[in-house]
Chains A and B, each alone.
Chain A
């Protein structure tokens, strides 16, 4: 899923300060799952913004609405009955949602409430960790199912640097050395030889080096 975190309130206050009425839009997908932009966070942010602004004498009306998904136009249409009554929209979706709402409602300023972080997984309750950078050319088949691009601090594709100590990355004791993980797993699978193959220099075009990416399923595309 895509993970995100709420931006500091201070930043959000400045976005909405000029407006009398805003629409705060949550998304019931990824950002709900990572507790950043679901119905509950929408409620918390609306209250927080109102109270923060009240202290400088500003009253703001905040309408709350949470969409099933903010990255699909049909869902975004749901906002239509609400949009005219507001001066601006703040989206609690990932960057995709923010842009899609902005694209749909061209005459309303749209602000992001979240910082979109990464594609990750829940390690446990309340902890999400990066797993994929969407490089467009998956290496996992060669690296024991653990991605060195997303999980090695240096994106090293051919083994650990000299900073790997007791399974941890040199940048922090809290970060696992991806190559230790890869190696442990290859060993466990009896695939040590896999390591000796040199992974050649990567073609970064599918990773976005080739400009904004797009997938077209011709059979489906309208």
Chain B
């Protein structure tokens, strides 16, 4: 065990881990965070708290993580390299750890062009891999990037993202390898709809033995409607939604579509469970946190192990 992280404990125990996410509100609404976290209590092993998701200003992920922690939940603190330079990031990391946050996800973040501050500078003092390296060095060597010793290093369980569906496809596994080499302990993948393609990716992951070096949590998302399916298929870069799923969503009446989406999500989890090297699931139910419990339950993943 590298850290005190609950997620690490679940993973080390050999159970399939379950995580989900909670987008902080665009305002000073702590109750909103608490409410969302409430839906996930006892349902997941860690709750991702996004960092200015889609390049829109939100309550800081650090603050929201702390709010969840105060509720006794296990926040998974996300950090993007887009908004801060390495000084700010290191400061936040030791600050977060000081407030009891021990699990984090290192990302580069969406380009500002997609958000509501397209005029903002994209900092990218570091990229996500360099961030992983830095967090690992802070934890394992107890050193700031500048070389100085950290008095009381942050013992972070380090996560990274992987998108098996983006291009160039053959680089996707290599990039994962780089993240592992940089020090990632676990991986959360982009939403998986195209299980066939994901299997191919996993095959390469296994060939390189990466599944033995890192815990891979497969990302899933329940679709609310055929419109949402189409949007993700056509508009979200790096998202792969097969046409037959869109058709399937469209084949049922509008009021039944949310139910169909959840069913598809559960079926996907069932297929993913069979793939060697999958250590758990990351359920991204965007603004639909109340349904996570149902999904986890129907997928046979309840109750969550006590470790």
Direct contact of A and B (CB under 8 A): yes
A residues near B, CB below 8 A? 153-167, 170-171, 177, 179-180, 183-184, 192, 195-196, 198-202, 204
B178–A161 CB distance below 8 A: no
Query: Which of A162, A163, A171, A201 gathers the greatest number of chain B CB atoms within 10 Å?
Result: A162
Bound Cα distance A155, B112 (Å):
13
| A195 contacts across to B, CB distance below 8 A | 171, 174, 178
Return B178 CB to nearest CB of chain A, in Å. 6
Could you give 22 example pairs across A and B, Cβ below 8 Å? A153-B111, A154-B111, A156-B108, A158-B178, A160-B166, A160-B175, A161-B108, A161-B128, A161-B166, A162-B166, A165-B166, A166-B167, A170-B114, A171-B111, A177-B167, A179-B168, A179-B171, A196-B177, A201-B130, A201-B133, A202-B125, A204-B125
| B129 contacts across to A, CB distance below 8 A | 157-159, 198
| B237 contacts across to A, CB distance below 8 A | 162-165, 170
Which residue of the partner chain A has the closest CB to B130?
Answer: A201
Bound Cα distance A96, B21 (Å):
49
Bound Cα distance A171, B174 (Å):
23
The SS class assigned to the A binding surface is loop
Query: Which of B86, B124, B145 gathers the greatest number of chain A CB atoms within 10 Å?
Result: B124
| B177 contacts across to A, CB distance below 8 A | 196
B190 at the interface (CB under 8 A from A): yes
Given contacts A154-B111, A154-B122, contact A165 B238 (CB under 8 A): yes
Bound Cα distance A163, B238 (Å):
5
A160–B122 CB distance below 8 A: no
| A180 contacts across to B, CB distance below 8 A | 167-168
Of the residues B111, B134, B168, B175, contact of A201 by C-beta under 8 Å:
B134
| A164 contacts across to B, CB distance below 8 A | 166-168, 237-238
B302 at the interface (CB under 8 A from A): no
A167–B167 CB distance below 8 A: yes
B111–A163 CB distance below 8 A: yes
B223 at the interface (CB under 8 A from A): no
Q: A196-B181, A199-B130, A202-B125 are in contact. List 4 more A-B contacts (CB 8 A).
A: A154-B122, A156-B108, A160-B166, A201-B126
Return B183 CB to nearest CB of chain A, in Å. 10
B126–A162 CB distance below 8 A: no
B98 at the interface (CB under 8 A from A): no
Given contacts A160-B167, A164-B167, A164-B168, contact A155 B174 (CB under 8 A): no
Return B140 CB to nearest CB of chain A, in Å. 16
Which residue of the partner chain B has the closest CB to A157?
Answer: B127
B238–A162 CB distance below 8 A: yes
| B133 contacts across to A, CB distance below 8 A | 198, 200-201
B278 at the interface (CB under 8 A from A): no
B113 at the interface (CB under 8 A from A): yes
Which residue of the partner chain A has the closest CB to B238?
Answer: A162
Which residue of the partner chain A has the closest CB to B122?
Answer: A154
Of the residues A153, A170, A196, A202, contact of B238 by C-beta under 8 Å:
A170
Bound Cα distance A161, B168 (Å):
10
Which residue of the partner chain B has the closest CB to A186?
Answer: B171
Bound Cα distance A171, B113 (Å):
7
Of the residues A162, A183, A199, contact of B163 by C-beta under 8 Å:
A162
| B122 contacts across to A, CB distance below 8 A | 153-155
Bound Cα distance A216, B165 (Å):
49
Return A179 CB to nearest CB of chain B, in Å. 7
B111–A170 CB distance below 8 A: yes
B182 at the interface (CB under 8 A from A): yes
Of the residues B110, B111, B113, B175, contact of A159 by C-beta under 8 Å:
B175
Bound Cα distance A79, B175 (Å):
56
Return B132 CB to nearest CB of chain A, in Å. 9
| B139 contacts across to A, CB distance below 8 A | none
| A170 contacts across to B, CB distance below 8 A | 110-111, 114, 237-238
Q: Which of B129-171 contact A (CB under 8 A)?
A: 129-130, 133-134, 145, 161, 163, 165-168, 170-171
